Protein backbone atom coordinates (compact mmCIF):
# COMPACT_ATOMS: atom_id res chain seq x y z
CA UNK A 1 0.00 0.00 0.00
CA UNK A 2 1.50 3.41 -0.97
CA UNK A 3 2.55 5.76 1.82
CA UNK A 4 0.12 8.48 2.89
CA UNK A 5 2.02 11.78 2.89
CA UNK A 6 -0.89 14.02 3.80
CA UNK A 7 0.28 14.51 7.38
CA UNK A 8 3.40 16.35 6.12
CA UNK A 9 1.22 18.98 4.46
CA UNK A 10 -1.42 19.65 7.10
CA UNK A 11 -1.26 22.51 9.59
CA UNK A 12 1.38 22.21 12.31
CA UNK A 13 1.09 23.60 15.83
CA UNK A 14 3.90 25.78 17.08
CA UNK A 15 5.75 24.70 20.23
CA UNK A 16 7.85 27.65 21.40
CA UNK A 17 8.91 26.03 24.69
CA UNK A 18 11.96 23.78 24.14
CA UNK A 19 11.36 20.09 24.80
CA UNK A 20 14.12 17.58 25.57
CA UNK A 21 14.36 14.84 22.95
CA UNK A 22 15.14 11.19 23.60
CA UNK A 23 18.67 10.41 22.39
CA UNK A 24 19.68 6.99 21.14
CA UNK A 25 23.45 6.73 20.89
CA UNK A 26 25.72 9.55 22.02
CA UNK A 27 25.96 13.09 20.68
CA UNK A 28 29.65 14.12 20.27
CA UNK A 29 30.79 16.20 23.23
CA UNK A 30 32.13 18.94 20.94
CA UNK A 31 28.79 19.38 19.14
CA UNK A 32 27.20 22.37 20.86
CA UNK A 33 25.13 24.81 18.83
CA UNK A 34 21.86 25.57 17.08
CA UNK A 35 20.48 24.13 13.87
CA UNK A 36 17.70 26.34 12.52
CA UNK A 37 15.37 25.05 9.83
CA UNK A 38 12.64 26.76 7.81
CA UNK A 39 9.50 25.08 6.45
CA UNK A 40 6.02 25.70 5.06
CA UNK A 41 3.75 24.43 7.83
CA UNK A 42 0.38 26.21 7.70
CA UNK A 43 -1.49 25.31 4.55
CA UNK A 44 -5.05 26.18 5.51
CA UNK A 45 -6.29 29.49 6.93
CA UNK A 46 -9.99 29.49 7.73
CA UNK A 47 -11.65 27.86 4.76
CA UNK A 48 -8.93 28.86 2.27
CA UNK A 49 -5.99 26.64 1.34
CA UNK A 50 -2.57 27.25 -0.14
CA UNK A 51 -2.03 25.42 -3.40
CA UNK A 52 1.75 25.17 -3.86
CA UNK A 53 4.56 23.77 -1.70
CA UNK A 54 6.34 27.15 -1.71
CA UNK A 55 3.30 28.92 -0.22
CA UNK A 56 2.60 27.54 3.26
CA UNK A 57 3.28 29.96 6.12
CA UNK A 58 6.79 29.68 7.52
CA UNK A 59 7.44 27.66 10.67
CA UNK A 60 10.95 27.95 12.09
CA UNK A 61 12.40 25.00 13.98
CA UNK A 62 15.26 25.16 16.47
CA UNK A 63 17.38 22.11 17.27
CA UNK A 64 19.55 23.22 20.16
CA UNK A 65 22.37 20.89 21.16
CA UNK A 66 24.19 21.29 24.48
CA UNK A 67 26.12 18.83 26.66
CA UNK A 68 24.88 15.75 24.85
CA UNK A 69 21.21 16.79 24.84
CA UNK A 70 18.90 18.01 22.09
CA UNK A 71 16.15 20.56 22.69
CA UNK A 72 13.47 21.15 20.03
CA UNK A 73 11.15 24.14 19.64
CA UNK A 74 9.16 25.80 16.86
CA UNK A 75 7.52 29.15 16.20
CA UNK A 76 5.67 30.64 13.24
CA UNK A 77 7.34 33.58 11.56
CA UNK A 78 5.25 36.69 12.35
CA UNK A 79 5.56 38.05 8.83
CA UNK A 80 3.20 40.67 7.42
CA UNK A 81 1.66 37.83 5.39
CA UNK A 82 1.06 35.77 8.53
CA UNK A 83 -0.46 38.67 10.46
CA UNK A 84 -2.75 39.70 7.60
CA UNK A 85 -3.99 36.14 7.10
CA UNK A 86 -4.58 35.59 10.81
CA UNK A 87 -6.49 38.85 11.14
CA UNK A 88 -8.77 38.00 8.20
CA UNK A 89 -8.89 34.25 8.94
CA UNK A 90 -8.42 33.55 5.24
CA UNK A 91 -5.61 33.86 2.72
CA UNK A 92 -5.42 37.56 1.83
CA UNK A 93 -1.70 37.49 0.97
CA UNK A 94 -1.17 35.71 -2.33
CA UNK A 95 1.98 33.69 -2.88
CA UNK A 96 4.00 31.71 -5.43
CA UNK A 97 1.16 29.39 -6.48
CA UNK A 98 -1.85 30.75 -4.59
CA UNK A 99 -3.86 33.87 -5.29
CA UNK A 100 -5.57 35.74 -2.46
CA UNK A 101 -9.09 34.56 -1.76
CA UNK A 102 -11.98 37.04 -2.14
CA UNK A 103 -13.75 38.38 0.93
CA UNK A 104 -16.66 35.97 1.57
CA UNK A 105 -18.71 38.84 3.05
CA UNK A 106 -18.85 40.64 -0.31
CA UNK A 107 -21.31 39.78 -3.05
CA UNK A 108 -20.17 39.11 -6.62
CA UNK A 109 -20.44 42.78 -7.66
CA UNK A 110 -18.51 44.01 -4.62
CA UNK A 111 -15.80 41.43 -5.31
CA UNK A 112 -15.52 42.57 -8.93
CA UNK A 113 -15.12 46.25 -8.06
CA UNK A 114 -12.68 45.45 -5.24
CA UNK A 115 -10.17 44.54 -7.96
CA UNK A 116 -9.97 48.24 -8.86
CA UNK A 117 -9.31 49.36 -5.29
CA UNK A 118 -5.96 50.89 -4.42
CA UNK A 119 -4.27 51.02 -1.08
CA UNK A 120 -1.35 49.56 0.88
CA UNK A 121 -0.16 46.23 -0.47
CA UNK A 122 0.92 43.32 1.71
CA UNK A 123 4.64 42.75 1.30
CA UNK A 124 5.54 39.21 0.23
CA UNK A 125 7.61 38.42 3.31
CA UNK A 126 6.54 34.83 4.06
CA UNK A 127 10.22 33.91 4.43
CA UNK A 128 9.79 30.16 4.20
CA UNK A 129 12.92 29.03 2.36
CA UNK A 130 16.20 29.74 4.12
CA UNK A 131 18.24 31.97 6.45
CA UNK A 132 21.04 34.43 5.82
CA UNK A 133 23.55 35.44 8.48
CA UNK A 134 24.85 39.01 8.36
CA UNK A 135 27.33 39.71 11.10
CA UNK A 136 25.83 38.27 14.26
CA UNK A 137 22.24 38.64 13.05
CA UNK A 138 20.09 36.04 11.33
CA UNK A 139 17.31 36.71 8.82
CA UNK A 140 14.66 34.40 7.41
CA UNK A 141 14.54 34.65 3.62
CA UNK A 142 12.50 33.69 0.58
CA UNK A 143 12.61 34.61 -3.12
CA UNK A 144 11.67 38.26 -2.62
CA UNK A 145 13.77 41.15 -1.23
CA UNK A 146 11.73 41.04 2.01
CA UNK A 147 13.45 39.44 5.03
CA UNK A 148 12.67 39.12 8.72
CA UNK A 149 15.26 39.28 11.47
CA UNK A 150 14.71 36.62 14.09
CA UNK A 151 15.87 35.96 17.63
CA UNK A 152 18.07 32.88 17.40
CA UNK A 153 17.24 31.69 20.93
CA UNK A 154 13.47 32.31 21.07
CA UNK A 155 12.60 32.27 17.34
CA UNK A 156 10.65 35.48 17.83
CA UNK A 157 10.29 37.75 14.79
CA UNK A 158 12.05 41.04 15.54
CA UNK A 159 12.01 43.22 12.42
CA UNK A 160 11.11 43.10 8.73
CA UNK A 161 13.92 44.33 6.48
CA UNK A 162 13.68 45.03 2.75
CA UNK A 163 16.83 44.51 0.72
CA UNK A 164 15.35 46.90 -1.84
CA UNK A 165 15.57 49.78 0.65
CA UNK A 166 19.36 49.51 0.53
CA UNK A 167 19.74 49.02 -3.22
CA UNK A 168 20.75 51.77 -5.68
CA UNK A 169 18.37 50.19 -8.23
CA UNK A 170 14.98 48.52 -7.95
CA UNK A 171 14.91 44.77 -7.40
CA UNK A 172 11.76 42.63 -7.50
CA UNK A 173 13.12 39.16 -6.70
CA UNK A 174 16.16 37.84 -4.87
CA UNK A 175 17.37 34.31 -4.26
CA UNK A 176 17.16 32.71 -0.84
CA UNK A 177 20.54 31.07 -1.55
CA UNK A 178 23.05 33.74 -0.72
CA UNK A 179 26.78 33.03 -0.82
CA UNK A 180 29.56 34.09 1.57
CA UNK A 181 33.23 34.78 0.96
CA UNK A 182 36.02 34.18 3.48
CA UNK A 183 35.26 37.50 5.22
CA UNK A 184 31.57 36.52 5.48
CA UNK A 185 30.46 39.21 3.05
CA UNK A 186 27.15 38.22 1.46
CA UNK A 187 26.53 37.89 -2.29
CA UNK A 188 23.20 37.51 -4.05
CA UNK A 189 21.35 37.76 -7.36
CA UNK A 190 17.96 39.33 -8.02
CA UNK A 191 15.79 40.39 -10.95
CA UNK A 192 14.40 43.75 -11.95
CA UNK A 193 11.38 43.48 -14.23
CA UNK A 194 10.28 46.15 -16.66
CA UNK A 195 11.02 47.59 -20.08
CA UNK A 196 14.74 46.94 -19.82
CA UNK A 197 14.74 44.09 -17.34
CA UNK A 198 18.00 42.90 -15.86
CA UNK A 199 19.52 40.35 -13.51
CA UNK A 200 21.14 42.22 -10.64
CA UNK A 201 24.23 40.99 -8.78
CA UNK A 202 24.97 42.48 -5.38
CA UNK A 203 27.30 42.33 -2.39
CA UNK A 204 26.59 43.19 1.24
CA UNK A 205 29.65 43.85 3.38
CA UNK A 206 29.85 42.00 6.68
CA UNK A 207 29.14 44.75 9.24
CA UNK A 208 31.56 43.16 11.70
CA UNK A 209 34.31 44.26 9.31
CA UNK A 210 33.13 47.90 9.34
CA UNK A 211 32.40 50.61 11.87
CA UNK A 212 28.72 49.70 11.63
CA UNK A 213 28.19 46.68 13.89
CA UNK A 214 24.38 46.64 13.72
CA UNK A 215 24.12 43.74 11.31
CA UNK A 216 21.90 45.53 8.81
CA UNK A 217 22.10 45.74 5.00
CA UNK A 218 23.22 49.38 4.65
CA UNK A 219 26.53 48.34 3.08
CA UNK A 220 24.87 46.75 0.03
CA UNK A 221 26.38 47.60 -3.34
CA UNK A 222 25.56 46.84 -6.95
CA UNK A 223 28.21 44.71 -8.68
CA UNK A 224 26.64 44.07 -12.07
CA UNK A 225 23.49 44.24 -14.17
CA UNK A 226 22.93 41.66 -16.92
CA UNK A 227 20.10 42.18 -19.45
CA UNK A 228 17.56 39.38 -19.77
CA UNK A 229 18.25 37.30 -22.87
CA UNK A 230 14.55 37.68 -23.70
CA UNK A 231 13.19 40.89 -22.24
CA UNK A 232 9.58 39.78 -21.71
CA UNK A 233 10.59 36.27 -20.66
CA UNK A 234 13.26 36.35 -17.95
CA UNK A 235 14.43 33.12 -16.38
CA UNK A 236 13.10 31.80 -13.08
CA UNK A 237 15.97 30.69 -10.84
CA UNK A 238 16.39 29.53 -7.27
CA UNK A 239 20.16 29.80 -6.74
CA UNK A 240 23.43 30.63 -8.48
CA UNK A 241 27.05 29.55 -8.54
CA UNK A 242 30.01 31.49 -7.17
CA UNK A 243 33.72 30.79 -7.48
CA UNK A 244 36.46 32.85 -5.86
CA UNK A 245 36.48 35.40 -8.69
CA UNK A 246 33.18 34.94 -10.54
CA UNK A 247 29.42 34.80 -10.40
CA UNK A 248 28.09 31.91 -12.50
CA UNK A 249 24.45 32.32 -13.45
CA UNK A 250 22.59 29.57 -15.31
CA UNK A 251 19.81 31.30 -17.23
CA UNK A 252 17.59 28.29 -17.85
CA UNK A 253 14.53 28.25 -20.15
CA UNK A 254 11.99 28.04 -17.32
CA UNK A 255 10.74 31.54 -18.08
CA UNK A 256 8.43 34.07 -16.47
CA UNK A 257 5.78 35.46 -18.81
CA UNK A 258 5.90 39.05 -17.57
CA UNK A 259 2.95 40.03 -19.77
CA UNK A 260 0.79 37.95 -17.44
CA UNK A 261 2.68 39.07 -14.37
CA UNK A 262 2.60 42.80 -15.10
CA UNK A 263 -1.08 43.53 -14.49
CA UNK A 264 -2.36 43.19 -10.90
CA UNK A 265 -5.89 43.60 -12.26
CA UNK A 266 -5.52 40.64 -14.63
CA UNK A 267 -3.93 38.59 -11.85
CA UNK A 268 -6.86 39.23 -9.52
CA UNK A 269 -9.63 38.92 -12.07
CA UNK A 270 -8.36 35.62 -13.43
CA UNK A 271 -6.70 34.41 -10.22
CA UNK A 272 -3.34 34.17 -12.00
CA UNK A 273 -0.37 33.36 -9.75
CA UNK A 274 3.38 33.62 -10.23
CA UNK A 275 3.40 29.86 -10.85
CA UNK A 276 0.85 30.33 -13.64
CA UNK A 277 3.26 32.73 -15.34
CA UNK A 278 6.04 30.13 -15.61
CA UNK A 279 6.57 28.61 -19.05
CA UNK A 280 9.05 25.92 -20.10
CA UNK A 281 10.75 26.85 -23.41
CA UNK A 282 13.30 24.05 -23.96
CA UNK A 283 14.19 25.19 -27.50
CA UNK A 284 15.77 28.31 -25.99
CA UNK A 285 18.41 26.24 -24.20
CA UNK A 286 20.51 27.56 -21.31
CA UNK A 287 22.57 30.77 -21.41
CA UNK A 288 25.45 30.67 -18.94
CA UNK A 289 26.65 34.05 -17.70
CA UNK A 290 30.05 34.57 -16.05
CA UNK A 291 30.63 37.88 -14.25
CA UNK A 292 33.82 39.11 -12.61
CA UNK A 293 32.99 39.87 -8.97
CA UNK A 294 35.66 42.57 -8.63
CA UNK A 295 34.87 44.57 -11.79
CA UNK A 296 31.25 43.65 -12.52
CA UNK A 297 32.16 42.89 -16.13
CA UNK A 298 30.45 40.02 -17.91
CA UNK A 299 32.43 37.71 -20.15
CA UNK A 300 31.72 38.80 -23.73
CA UNK A 301 32.08 35.24 -25.01
CA UNK A 302 28.83 33.37 -24.45
CA UNK A 303 28.36 29.85 -23.13
CA UNK A 304 25.32 27.83 -24.15
CA UNK A 305 23.85 24.45 -23.29
CA UNK A 306 20.89 22.26 -24.17
CA UNK A 307 17.86 22.87 -21.93
CA UNK A 308 17.75 21.91 -18.27
CA UNK A 309 16.56 23.41 -14.99
CA UNK A 310 18.20 23.53 -11.58
CA UNK A 311 17.12 24.45 -8.08
CA UNK A 312 20.42 24.05 -6.24
CA UNK A 313 24.14 24.49 -6.76
CA UNK A 314 26.71 22.44 -4.83
CA UNK A 315 29.97 24.30 -5.51
CA UNK A 316 31.99 26.16 -8.14
CA UNK A 317 35.72 26.79 -8.38
CA UNK A 318 38.46 27.82 -10.80
CA UNK A 319 40.91 25.17 -11.94
CA UNK A 320 43.53 25.09 -14.71
CA UNK A 321 41.99 27.92 -16.70
CA UNK A 322 38.41 26.71 -16.28
CA UNK A 323 35.45 27.11 -13.96
CA UNK A 324 34.02 23.87 -12.56
CA UNK A 325 30.28 24.13 -11.74
CA UNK A 326 28.46 21.37 -9.82
CA UNK A 327 24.68 21.47 -9.41
CA UNK A 328 21.54 19.32 -9.38
CA UNK A 329 20.16 19.07 -12.92
CA UNK A 330 16.51 18.45 -13.76
CA UNK A 331 15.86 17.71 -17.43
CA UNK A 332 12.26 18.95 -17.44
CA UNK A 333 11.59 22.41 -15.99
CA UNK A 334 7.87 21.65 -15.64
CA UNK A 335 8.84 20.00 -12.34
CA UNK A 336 8.43 23.34 -10.54
CA UNK A 337 4.75 23.65 -11.41
CA UNK A 338 4.14 20.05 -10.34
CA UNK A 339 5.09 20.81 -6.72
CA UNK A 340 1.53 21.56 -5.67
CA UNK A 341 0.14 20.63 -2.28
CA UNK A 342 -2.26 18.22 -3.95
CA UNK A 343 0.61 16.42 -5.71
CA UNK A 344 2.83 16.39 -2.62
CA UNK A 345 0.07 14.91 -0.45
CA UNK A 346 -0.37 12.00 -2.81
CA UNK A 347 3.37 11.32 -2.95
CA UNK A 348 4.24 12.75 -6.37
CA UNK A 349 7.98 12.62 -5.62
CA UNK A 350 7.85 8.84 -5.23
CA UNK A 351 6.60 8.37 -8.77
CA UNK A 352 8.13 11.26 -10.72
CA UNK A 353 9.31 10.59 -14.26
CA UNK A 354 13.00 10.26 -15.06
CA UNK A 355 12.98 13.71 -16.68
CA UNK A 356 11.92 15.29 -13.38
CA UNK A 357 14.48 13.50 -11.18
CA UNK A 358 17.40 15.73 -10.10
CA UNK A 359 20.95 14.43 -10.54
CA UNK A 360 24.22 15.88 -9.30
CA UNK A 361 25.89 17.14 -12.45
CA UNK A 362 29.06 18.94 -13.56
CA UNK A 363 29.74 21.41 -16.35
CA UNK A 364 33.06 23.05 -17.14
CA UNK A 365 33.58 26.52 -18.61
CA UNK A 366 36.95 27.29 -20.27
CA UNK A 367 37.97 30.86 -19.49
CA UNK A 368 40.13 31.31 -22.58
CA UNK A 369 40.08 30.13 -26.20
CA UNK A 370 43.44 29.33 -27.86
CA UNK A 371 44.26 31.48 -30.88
CA UNK A 372 44.52 28.44 -33.13
CA UNK A 373 41.15 26.96 -32.02
CA UNK A 374 38.72 26.22 -34.84
CA UNK A 375 34.91 25.81 -34.82
CA UNK A 376 34.11 22.26 -33.76
CA UNK A 377 37.11 21.95 -31.43
CA UNK A 378 36.47 20.61 -27.93
CA UNK A 379 38.33 23.11 -25.74
CA UNK A 380 38.43 20.60 -22.86
CA UNK A 381 39.96 17.77 -24.88
CA UNK A 382 43.42 18.11 -23.35
CA UNK A 383 42.13 18.45 -19.77
CA UNK A 384 42.16 15.03 -18.13
CA UNK A 385 39.96 16.28 -15.28
CA UNK A 386 37.12 17.14 -17.69
CA UNK A 387 35.80 13.58 -17.88
CA UNK A 388 32.84 13.49 -20.26
CA UNK A 389 32.26 17.25 -20.12
CA UNK A 390 32.83 19.11 -23.37
CA UNK A 391 33.10 22.75 -24.46
CA UNK A 392 32.84 23.00 -28.23
CA UNK A 393 33.72 26.21 -30.06
CA UNK A 394 30.91 27.30 -32.39
CA UNK A 395 31.26 29.24 -35.66
CA UNK A 396 29.78 32.38 -34.08
CA UNK A 397 32.41 32.34 -31.31
CA UNK A 398 30.12 30.99 -28.59
CA UNK A 399 30.97 27.82 -26.66
CA UNK A 400 28.55 24.89 -26.58
CA UNK A 401 28.71 23.17 -23.18
CA UNK A 402 27.76 19.58 -22.38
CA UNK A 403 27.68 18.20 -18.85
CA UNK A 404 28.40 14.97 -16.99
CA UNK A 405 26.44 13.22 -14.24
CA UNK A 406 28.48 12.77 -11.05
CA UNK A 407 26.30 10.14 -9.38
CA UNK A 408 23.67 7.86 -10.84
CA UNK A 409 21.15 8.41 -8.07
CA UNK A 410 18.47 11.12 -7.76
CA UNK A 411 19.29 13.61 -5.00
CA UNK A 412 18.48 17.15 -3.91
CA UNK A 413 19.60 19.74 -1.36
CA UNK A 414 23.38 19.37 -1.94
CA UNK A 415 25.63 20.58 0.89
CA UNK A 416 29.41 20.74 1.33
CA UNK A 417 31.93 21.60 4.02
CA UNK A 418 31.23 25.23 3.19
CA UNK A 419 33.72 26.86 5.55
CA UNK A 420 36.62 24.80 4.20
CA UNK A 421 35.98 24.18 0.50
CA UNK A 422 33.42 26.65 -0.85
CA UNK A 423 34.86 28.17 -4.09
CA UNK A 424 37.80 25.72 -3.75
CA UNK A 425 38.69 22.43 -5.42
CA UNK A 426 36.88 19.87 -3.30
CA UNK A 427 35.82 16.23 -3.15
CA UNK A 428 32.56 15.60 -1.30
CA UNK A 429 28.90 16.54 -1.69
CA UNK A 430 26.22 15.48 0.80
CA UNK A 431 22.62 15.31 -0.36
CA UNK A 432 19.20 13.84 0.35
CA UNK A 433 17.07 11.47 -1.69
CA UNK A 434 14.02 13.26 -0.18
CA UNK A 435 11.10 10.97 -1.16
CA UNK A 436 12.57 9.65 -4.40
CA UNK A 437 11.92 5.95 -4.55
CA UNK A 438 14.92 3.63 -4.30
CA UNK A 439 14.79 -0.13 -3.80
CA UNK A 440 17.19 0.00 -0.85
CA UNK A 441 15.52 3.01 0.86
CA UNK A 442 18.59 5.20 0.31
CA UNK A 443 18.26 8.37 2.40
CA UNK A 444 21.46 10.42 2.73
CA UNK A 445 24.12 10.29 0.03
CA UNK A 446 27.81 11.22 0.08
CA UNK A 447 29.21 11.72 -3.42
CA UNK A 448 32.93 11.63 -4.24
CA UNK A 449 32.97 14.07 -7.16
CA UNK A 450 36.50 13.04 -8.20
CA UNK A 451 35.79 9.34 -8.54
CA UNK A 452 32.05 9.73 -9.30
CA UNK A 453 31.15 7.19 -6.64
CA UNK A 454 28.88 7.44 -3.62
CA UNK A 455 28.03 5.83 -0.31
CA UNK A 456 24.68 6.03 1.44
CA UNK A 457 22.79 5.90 4.72
CA UNK A 458 19.48 4.10 4.38
CA UNK A 459 16.13 5.05 5.84
CA UNK A 460 14.39 2.47 8.00
CA UNK A 461 11.59 2.24 5.43
CA UNK A 462 10.18 4.09 2.43
CA UNK A 463 7.63 6.04 4.50
CA UNK A 464 10.43 8.17 5.94
CA UNK A 465 11.60 11.38 4.26
CA UNK A 466 15.08 12.85 4.68
CA UNK A 467 15.46 16.62 4.74
CA UNK A 468 18.61 18.50 3.72
CA UNK A 469 21.75 17.20 5.51
CA UNK A 470 23.85 19.94 7.12
CA UNK A 471 27.60 19.49 7.54
CA UNK A 472 29.12 20.58 10.85
CA UNK A 473 32.95 20.43 10.96
CA UNK A 474 34.86 18.88 13.83
CA UNK A 475 36.79 21.61 15.70
CA UNK A 476 40.38 21.49 14.50
CA UNK A 477 39.54 19.03 11.72
CA UNK A 478 41.99 18.95 8.83
CA UNK A 479 40.22 16.67 6.35
CA UNK A 480 37.32 17.85 4.21
CA UNK A 481 35.00 15.25 5.72
CA UNK A 482 36.04 15.67 9.36
CA UNK A 483 32.65 16.35 10.88
CA UNK A 484 29.06 15.20 11.22
CA UNK A 485 25.84 15.54 9.28
CA UNK A 486 22.63 16.73 10.95
CA UNK A 487 19.45 15.68 9.16
CA UNK A 488 15.78 15.53 10.23
CA UNK A 489 14.05 12.33 9.18
CA UNK A 490 10.28 12.71 8.87
CA UNK A 491 7.83 9.89 9.35
CA UNK A 492 4.26 9.52 8.11
CA UNK A 493 3.63 6.53 10.35
CA UNK A 494 1.73 7.95 13.32
CA UNK A 495 3.09 5.30 15.70
CA UNK A 496 6.73 6.29 15.03
CA UNK A 497 8.46 9.50 16.10
CA UNK A 498 10.43 11.61 13.61
CA UNK A 499 14.04 12.20 14.58
CA UNK A 500 17.22 14.16 13.95
CA UNK A 501 19.91 11.75 12.81
CA UNK A 502 23.59 12.52 13.42
CA UNK A 503 25.92 10.77 10.98
CA UNK A 504 29.69 10.50 10.76
CA UNK A 505 30.48 12.49 7.63
CA UNK A 506 33.32 10.13 6.66
CA UNK A 507 31.41 6.87 6.76
CA UNK A 508 27.73 7.89 7.03
CA UNK A 509 27.50 5.61 10.04
CA UNK A 510 24.84 6.66 12.53
CA UNK A 511 26.26 8.24 15.68
CA UNK A 512 22.96 9.16 17.31
CA UNK A 513 19.30 9.70 16.58
CA UNK A 514 17.25 12.15 18.63
CA UNK A 515 13.52 11.44 18.69
CA UNK A 516 11.26 14.50 18.46
CA UNK A 517 7.87 14.12 20.21
CA UNK A 518 6.09 16.33 17.65
CA UNK A 519 5.38 16.11 13.94
CA UNK A 520 8.18 17.69 11.90
CA UNK A 521 7.27 19.56 8.68
CA UNK A 522 9.04 19.02 5.37
CA UNK A 523 11.63 21.79 5.46
CA UNK A 524 13.71 23.27 2.68
CA UNK A 525 16.96 24.61 4.14
CA UNK A 526 18.85 25.16 7.38
CA UNK A 527 21.56 27.23 9.00
CA UNK A 528 23.88 26.01 11.77
CA UNK A 529 25.42 28.35 14.33
CA UNK A 530 27.98 26.97 16.82
CA UNK A 531 27.57 27.93 20.45
Q: Residues marked as binding for Fe cation?
A: 177, 238, 312, 525
In whole angstroms, how large is the CA radius of gyration of the chain?
23
The alpha carbon torsion through 322, 326, 330, 335 (nearest 10 deg) reads: -120
Q: How far apart are the first and last CA of the chain?
A: 44
Helical spans, DSSP H, in 48-128:
80-88, 108-114
The Cα–Cα gap between 36 and 279 comes to 34
Angstrom distances, CA of residue 214 to CA of 36, 149, 205, 336, 516: 21, 12, 12, 37, 35
The Cα–Cα gap between 168 and 41 comes to 35
The Cα–Cα gap between 503 and 469 comes to 9
DSSP 340-371: BHHHHHTTGGGS--GGG--EEEEEEEES---T
φ/ψ of residue 6, rounded to 5: -60, -35
**Best CA proximity match to 446, nearest among 396, 501, 505, 391:** 505
Question: CB–CB of 240/189 below 8 Å?
Answer: yes
Residues contributing to the annotated binding site? 177, 238, 312, 525
Question: CB–CB of 58/127 below 8 Å?
Answer: yes
Q: Which residues contact 521 (CB under 8 A, 6 or more apart)?
A: 8, 12, 39, 40, 41, 59, 61, 490
**Best CA proximity match to 291, nearest among 230, 221, 393, 201:** 201
The Cα–Cα gap between 18 and 21 comes to 9
Residues for the chain: how many in total? 531
φ/ψ of residue 147, rounded to 5: -125, 165
Question: Looking at residue 275, what DSSP letter applies?
Answer: G
Amino acid sequence: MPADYRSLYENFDENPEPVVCNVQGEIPSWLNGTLLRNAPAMFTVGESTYEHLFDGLALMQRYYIEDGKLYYSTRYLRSDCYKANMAAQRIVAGSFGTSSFPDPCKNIFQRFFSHFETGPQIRHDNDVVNFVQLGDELYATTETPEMNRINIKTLETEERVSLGDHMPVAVHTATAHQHYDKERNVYNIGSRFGKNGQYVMIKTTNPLNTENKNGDFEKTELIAEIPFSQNLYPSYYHSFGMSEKYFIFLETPLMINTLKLASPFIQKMFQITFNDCLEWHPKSGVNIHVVDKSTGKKFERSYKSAAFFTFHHANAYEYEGCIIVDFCLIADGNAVQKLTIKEMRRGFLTEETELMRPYLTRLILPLEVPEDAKPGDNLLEKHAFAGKCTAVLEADGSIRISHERLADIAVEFPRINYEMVNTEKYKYVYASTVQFRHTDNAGIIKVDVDNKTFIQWNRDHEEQTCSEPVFVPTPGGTEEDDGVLLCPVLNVRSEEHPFLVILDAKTLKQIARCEVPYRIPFSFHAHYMPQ
